[in-house]
Amino acid sequence: MNETAKEKWGYKMDVGIVGGGAIGLLFASYLKRAGHMVTIYTKRAEQAMKLTGEGLVFHRGGSVEKYHVEAFPIEQIREHELLIIAVKQYQLEDLSPYLKSVKKPESTLLYLQNGMGHVKGFKENGWHAIVAGVVEHGAKRMSDHEIVQTGFGKTKISLVTGQSDLHRWTATLHNKGFPIEIKDNWHEMLSRKLVVNCAINPLTAIFKVPNGELLYNDHFQNLMKKIVKEATFLLHLDEREMWDEVVAVCKYTEQNRSSMLTDIENNRKTEIEAINGFLVEKGNENNIPVPYNDFVYKSVSGMEQVGKA
């Protein structure tokens, strides 16, 4: 057994990761790298077998690393000190019974979803703490047990309810290429990420363009601006500041094809409901029209339907 973490920090975490997608496997890789105990829970039993049998293969920069991990189908979930929820928001509902079965006053939940629809779930109590996180890394799953990190960003985390020593976490999880930043205001943190996602993701999916094109094409930039304007108004954020952030992300990721675009290209369900769907619902509740968000929400929803037909 790898004792690095304990040797280094006198502290080795027992972490469960729910979700065998790109983000789940990325976190598993970095946690293994830091010497923690990692158990991955997957929807498909075959993936769990593959991960346990062949190890987790992590492509990063030019190098390849391989980690031994424990993986089980979600039905076999057990309690952990920290449980990282790395499934898409629309999969949270199916997960709910399993989470209930392992709810313990000693366990902390870390939610890594896009959007804000899952915020409702934060009200659940009985956990030691609930922490929200937003991931700015890019990662792509190559097969059931292989991922490649495609972009280097950071993870922001923020305490939602309960008590959790985020600074200790940060010290132990943090390592080269995997910075973690602690934020005071989880709602603002999620709102800001939502604004970035609500503009870039659906427009790239509709127009089938890499992120940068939204900036360099006057017409697309104008649409992006309208979407950001609506979202910042609705979420009480500073429009100008958020626009600068959206522009910065577009520039930084200009070659990237967004996850929503690749989801559409592969006829997969997207996160449109959690992102623009959330804003449309919030607009309706508050009687604030958000037609540009409504347009992309209906567009991507319609495109998902075409893909399935």
* DSSP 8-class letter at 184: S
Residue the block writes with tokens 């619902």: 281
Q: Is 184 in the site for a second copy (CB under 8 A)?
A: no
Q: Do residues 185 and 229 lie in contact, with contact meaning Cβ atoms separated by under 8 Å?
A: no
Q: Is 215 in the site for a second copy (CB under 8 A)?
A: no
Write the CA distances from 133 to 80, 107, 186, integer angstroms. 18, 16, 8
Q: Is 252 in the site for a second copy (CB under 8 A)?
A: no
Q: Minimum CB separation from a second copy for residue 308, in Å?
A: 10
Q: Is 193 a known active-site residue? A: yes
Give whichever of 101 and 255 is closer to a second copy, judged by the CB atom: 255
Q: Is 301 in the site for a second copy (CB under 8 A)?
A: yes
Report the amino acid identity of residue 284.
Answer: N
Considering only residues 223, 234, 274, 280, which one is a binding residue for a second copy as defined by CB under 8 A?
A: 223
Task: Tally Cβ neighbours within 10 Å of residue 99.
Answer: 19
Q: Minimum CB separation from a second copy for residue 300, in Å?
A: 8
In 3D space, the residue among 65, 66, 38, 42 whose CA is nearest the CA of residue 54 turns out to be 66
Considering only residues 125, 222, 255, 284, which one is a binding residue for a second copy as defined by CB under 8 A?
A: 222
Site for a second copy in 269-298 (CB under 8 A): 289, 291-292, 294-295, 298
From the candidates 8, 193, 208, 298, give the one annotated as an active-site residue. 193
- Rounded CA separation 303/269 (Å): 10
Write the CA distances from 244 to 153, 192, 251, integer angstroms. 17, 12, 11
- Local structure of 53: helix, strand or coil: helix
Give whichever of 119 and 209 is closer to a second copy, judged by the CB atom: 209
- Rounded CA separation 189/136 (Å): 12
Q: Is 255 in the site for a second copy (CB under 8 A)?
A: no
Give whichever of 111 and 292 is closer to a second copy, judged by the CB atom: 292
- Rounded CA separation 125/130 (Å): 9
Total residues binding a second copy (CB under 8 A) = 23
Give whichever of 9 and 220 is closer to a second copy, judged by the CB atom: 220
Q: Minimum CB separation from a second copy for residue 261, in Å?
A: 14
- Rounded CA separation 82/84 (Å): 6
Catalytic positions, please?
Answer: 193
Task: Give contact residues for a second copy (rule: CB under 8 A).
Answer: 206-207, 209, 213, 217-220, 222-223, 226, 289, 291-292, 294-295, 298-299, 301-303, 305-306
